Amino acid sequence: MSGSELKELVEVDGMMEAEIIKSKLESFQIPVLLTFESAGRIYGITLNGLGKVKVMVTATQWVAAKNVLSDRWPEAEKNPESPD
């Protein structure tokens, strides 16, 4: 994903759900980067956003990724901005 602008696709609570989303997107050949606060992962804290994980994809694949997730993760629909 180097050299490509990243866009947030969805933000979820916890690494487990984020890993499931990542696996699904990667099965469609869409590379994913997960961003999160390390303290939340180390200590299992979900207070004040520490358990939040952002699922990031390239801007060029944002629409395709949104379509892949639209049936199972309606949170992806909450981010209606275009990839531009």
The full set of domains in the chain, from first to last, is 6-78 (3.30.70.1530)
d(CA 32, CA 22): 6
Mean pLDDT, range 47-53, rounded to an integer: 70
* Confidence band, pLDDT 50/70/90 cuts, at residue 71: confident
43's enclosing H/E stretch is helix 38-43
Q: What is the pTM of this model?
A: 0.72
State the pLDDT at residue 5: 92
Mean pLDDT, range 19-44, rounded to an integer: 84
